[in-house]
Chain A
Amino acid sequence: MKDMITPLAVPRAINWNRLQDDKDLEVWNRLTVNFWLPEKVPLSNDVQSWAMLRPEERTLTIRVFTGLTLLDTIQNTVGAPALMPDAQTPHEEAVLTNIAFMEAVHARSYSSIFSTLCSTKEVDEAFRWSEDNPHLQAKARAILTEYAPGADPLKRKIASVFLESFLFYSGFYLPMFWSSRGRLTNTADLIRLIIRDEAVHGYYVGYKFQRALERESEARKAELKDYAFALMFDLYDIEAKYSAELYDGIGLTEDVKAFLHYNANKALQNLGYEPLFPPAACEVNPAILAALSPDSENHDFFSGSGSSYVIGKAVATQDEDWDF
């Protein structure tokens, strides 16, 4: 009887010295160098700042973070693992395991913020809120539908990029806003580490999507593009409602929407597509942009509007100088 059982398929041992796609090693190196844990961020320095927020601002902040926790939980337990069977190389699978783990670190780090700043009662209430909030649940379900077994592998990648590069930003807006006002600046430092990771994740899955798309027929390419834009419309619709519910109270909804448009366009660019929202709809509050990338100016030498003009001091260029 024994020989009638199909033998288990044994994966081939991974050889990182034989790459099918150099991008796998490049992204692996980037992710491993960028590895971090919430313990490295001195969140307790935000205790005083937290106490200065009004009660409704505290409630908003905790709710936003439970919403973000849900998205990270989905990526950790469902999203990244769901991409693994579609991997084209063993190295891609290994990168996805790193992505899955870092999503667990992200989800875990919101709880570090909570335990440092908030009361158990406040946090429990916010988790209950997140379970009952129809918009948050709707966006989770929209993505989970695409992650389901048997779903289209390329649509799964589209959904993953939209989660990583778009759906987080209604939440990320708030710590960037607080940071621009000098509030919760250590928490913002932690969020920036998460944003940096999600940027690599969205870039990598988007890159793999583009590679896979090259092998598809013109008809299939058109179908996937239609699908991507339709899904973006659906998700945007949910995000607009979710943002209004969260931010109407402090009058920031329109500001958040500009940030959503800007990030929706970037998510589409990660997939190789053109932007959906026109430039006028994407004029993000400069304070938010500055909070995203502090110490980095937007150089516009052409219009003379850049705040600093970068030109090197004459460096005698030896060839070994270029070994960065």
Chain B
Amino acid sequence: MAGLVYYSSGSGNTARFIAALGLPADRIPVRPADPMPTPAAPFVLVCPTYADGQGNGAVPKQVIAFLNDPARRALIRGVIAAGNRNFGATFALAGKVIAQKCNVPLLYSFELAGTETDIARVRTGLDRFWGAECLTP
């Protein structure tokens, strides 16, 4: 069964989004010393954005470390990005960077911990996405 992998820092916004989604998900640890999740099946990555005004540093270091492993990277099928529109053009930039690096679609972007509407859209969207994925092995 396909799943979710996510990163959330101390502010906990993405973790609250995942909790509200209510789907099984593995968390990439905040501390580099802690063990990385080892997904056994394809997954969608949910990742917040930390870009500066120039767009540097959008993807958290721990997410880069997670994707650096070829075996884990081979299983990513899509990315969902979090951010804040108040950051202007760099809103949810991490999603675009990961989509490009990993050659997967950017499925959705939301702000902070998401809204009810975001949760509903992502839940239905993932259902349909995994359904379609199964038909195209």
Distance from A285 Cβ to chain B, minimum over Cβ atoms (Å): 13
Distance from B129 Cβ to chain A, minimum over Cβ atoms (Å): 7
Residue A6 lies at the interface, judged by CB distance under 8 Å to chain B? no
Given contacts A266-B111, A302-B108, A309-B105, contact A293 B56 (CB under 8 A): no
Cβ A196 vs Cβ B104 within 8 A: no
Residue B112 lies at the interface, judged by CB distance under 8 Å to chain A? yes
| Chain A residue at smallest Cβ distance from B121 | A302
Cβ A269 vs Cβ B89 within 8 A: no
B residues 117-135 touching A (CB-CB < 8 Å): 117, 121-122, 124-126, 128-129
Q: How far is the CA of A299 from the CA of B86 in the complex (A)?
A: 16
Residue B88 lies at the interface, judged by CB distance under 8 Å to chain A? yes
Residue B52 lies at the interface, judged by CB distance under 8 Å to chain A? yes
Cβ A299 vs Cβ B95 within 8 A: yes
Size band of the interface chain A makes with B? 35 or more
Stretch at the interface among B5-13, B21-29, B33-41: B5-13
Cβ A293 vs Cβ B88 within 8 A: yes
Size band of the interface chain B makes with A? 35 or more
Residue A87 lies at the interface, judged by CB distance under 8 Å to chain B? no
Given contacts A312-B102, A315-B103, contact A322 B86 (CB under 8 A): no
Given contacts A199-B86, A279-B116, A310-B95, contact A317 B102 (CB under 8 A): yes
Can you list 16 A-B contacts (CB < 8 A)?
A: A26-B50, A33-B53, A33-B54, A199-B87, A210-B10, A266-B84, A275-B115, A293-B88, A295-B89, A298-B109, A299-B106, A301-B105, A302-B108, A302-B121, A302-B129, A322-B64
Which B residues are within 8 Å of any A CB, using their own CB? 9-13, 16, 50, 52-54, 56-59, 64, 67-68, 73, 78, 81, 84-93, 95-97, 99-109, 111-113, 115-117, 121-122, 124-126, 128-129
